[in-house]
Structure 1
Amino acid sequence: MIKGLLMFVGVSLLINTSQAETQNHAEFLEFYPDCGFEIVDTVKHSGMIRSDFTKSPKFYISEKMKKLHQDILSKAEKNGIHFLVVKSRKLSPAYDESMRFNVTVEYLKTCSDPHKRGGKAAKFDALGQKLATFGQIKVGKNKTITFDLPHSIVRTELSDNFTVSLDGGLYGIKLGTTIDEVVKTFGTPSFWSSNQEGMEIVAYGRRHWLTFENSVLIAAKFGTSIFDVELMNHLDFDERFDDRKWKVENSVQRDDALPNTDKSSIPMFNNQSQSLLLDTEVMLENRQEEKNRRVIGFELKTNHANSFSFDNTQLSQSNNQDYLFKTLSSIGESAEIDVKPLLQSVLGKTPKKNGQQFLLIDGNTLVKASANSVTKILLSSGYVDGASPTWHFGPFYAGQSLDDALAVAGDSALHMLDVIEIEHNRFTMKLFASEEANGVQIYAMEVSIY
């Protein structure tokens, strides 16, 4: 529901423009005038939109949006302004099916020919749509130029090579290949990470993990022992890799049964410089009456290759959690949490998708950023193997008893089953608890900022 609302509101943010301009003698410009002009005022409009899909799930027009459009033009007309530019437009999920919107409009005092093109293009048109988005930029009515934008996600078409082998590598990509050549062949990774030793690891989908040292491929693994499933749940699926029915040396295929073995990791093939191992798991089958060990993964690696890992200083950076809590506690109606102070300690990140991405800040902290603002904070007992299971966020922390967390949250908090929800006019905080040996304890937190 939210996704559909986002898409539509972005299109209909300032709808019925031509009619309103005629009535109010004011209009929105897509280009700053090529002649002289002056920005006489910058006005911000914000509010909440409550969705209503009783008429159509895609084309319901909020009364709030129509009123916003009239308010902008009326205020401009009262101030003797006839030309406006939409400087920014931001939409954020709020609670239930609601959205919070923020629109910034510039009032222009301009020359006698404001429609003369040649000046700088505005970021948004009169409908609140970006003028440069999804690889296209408008150059005139019904005309577009398509070009590659920075941070665009590229999905290449893979060959029909499904084999992992010592000679052929991973689907034709051999160990020793540079990271640039891998990205050229496989496209944009779903996740990228680096450590203090300069090693890099990238993921394609949620299951294929490739390790690089000095920008050269030294290992390829189906599955990972470094990152927890809590992190992988936030990575985009890539059906080219996640659904791939791979086979090892043309002899063993994904999900094949391996009888007569009790080992979970089996060294199947090796030579002087490389080794290829199979990962297996015992499966209960035939109404759980039979045990079969099946192939669930592989690891192709250079012999004596260094293992990718983080040191404790990278995993434990409580100053990040302190910054997020202090900034959130003092957030005002129009303020945002700046993501830039967190960037120096980023352990890993997803590619930008529609301007949003996940950033792994430390072993326990994952944030979602939109442009330069934090929109979601996720705290967990560990996104990375070896991370301390503890985190602190103001008065809340991992291992805190449910009763203590409820006392801190106060009477206005909502408690349902093992979830505590705290509502604020700018954010919603959720605390998640589970039954442990010492009673019900907090283990994770999620903060949604809007």
Structure 2
Amino acid sequence: MTLLDLTPRMVVTDRLASLPVVIIGAGPIGLAAAANLVERGIDFRILERGEQAAASIRLWGHTRLFSPWRHLIDPSSRRLLESAGWSAPVDEDAAPTGRELVDLYLSPLAELDAIRSRIRFGTRVVAVSREGMDRTRTAGRDTTPFLIRVRATDGRVEELVGRAVIDASGTYTSPNPLSSSGLDPLGDSDVDGRLVHALPDVLGAERERFAGRHTTVVGAGHSAANTLIALAELAKDAPGTRVTWLIRNASAVRVSSSADDELADRARLGSRVDQLVDAGAIEKIDSFEISAIERHGDGVRLIGSRRREPASYDTDVVVGATGFRPDLDMLREVRLHLDETVEAPVRLAPLIDPNLHSCGTVAPHGFDELRHPEAGFFLVGMKSYGRAPTFLLATGYEQVRSVVAWVDGDMRAATEVQLTLPATGVCSTGLTGASACCS
């Protein structure tokens, strides 16, 4: 008996075989899962909350990724696209912006008839369960179809069934709170309009929000660094623009990359921020723990402590770049086995612990590391990493290749997981799917 013989397999009844695989999210990882299913002739449905594919990436499309094109195109997706006459970008060593990633790759992929005909846009998944079973019932569970409850943009609620569920919904719409406790800071509901999501378009569509104002960026990762650099650039042309960088630790180690980082744009990012701090273009405040936020005049006041002493800081606008976390509310009736620290699948968590690993030191992993007690259910992509900020698109592509092979009963392909990542230094970001600061 070999290890392959002992690997858990998907149980498929006649009814399950007649049902589609349900993919949650039409971002790069969800579309890659679809491409793998197309190649294997397995029916599927993609449920996408937005009105277009890659809806979250479009929100930060002005931001340039770290990874070059050669790390951003899923192999199965490439084969499908090329068979339809698509050509990859000429310079595959160039790193695109999020908008370029969408326009040149993800949109054409989503428009392939084999995929577009199976996407439901404007459809939010509100719950996943088993047909006729809550999470407490065990008998016959593995052969019972999944039940997916969805809400359309017009408020209509309905239910679908599927043979397996691949949750690639990402984390971009679930930011971490500003408070160091992990809870929403007291008073945050009173400062609407002054608290901004990570990676705003400072030099483009949202310029007027920041020009001539004092903006404080909270967070110590690459998404914070991107925004700080953009604000410093804006300050050159917009009198009265001030920039403050507020972090809760003594130093921002996560935004620094080693000299041998193969992703050159990321390696330069930390040094650019440091130069701007040294030049006085960015005010840096370290060791500030936020506990509350309140409206103060036309701006806001951040309240907390600094080096264990009560402290407050006034600003006009706050950009929350404190990372992201998975939205698990819709999975309450699914039997998950998550690490208690980073909220990733327990077998995956030790491989991605940000205290030990960077983006490029994560070991290859597939369905086995991603599986839960709920057979046939998988968290993939950025959501599979829980609160760990080290996700790369190439990692997600290999995840779904393995998962789809397992769904198809191809155990040899499912277990032969291979992944080559660029060598990296410390990597931190908090972006869904494409992870604008890390992928």
Q: TM-score, normalised on structure 2?
A: 0.23
Q: Which has the higher contact order (CA 8 A, sep 6+)?
A: 2
Q: Which has the larger radius of gyration?
A: 1
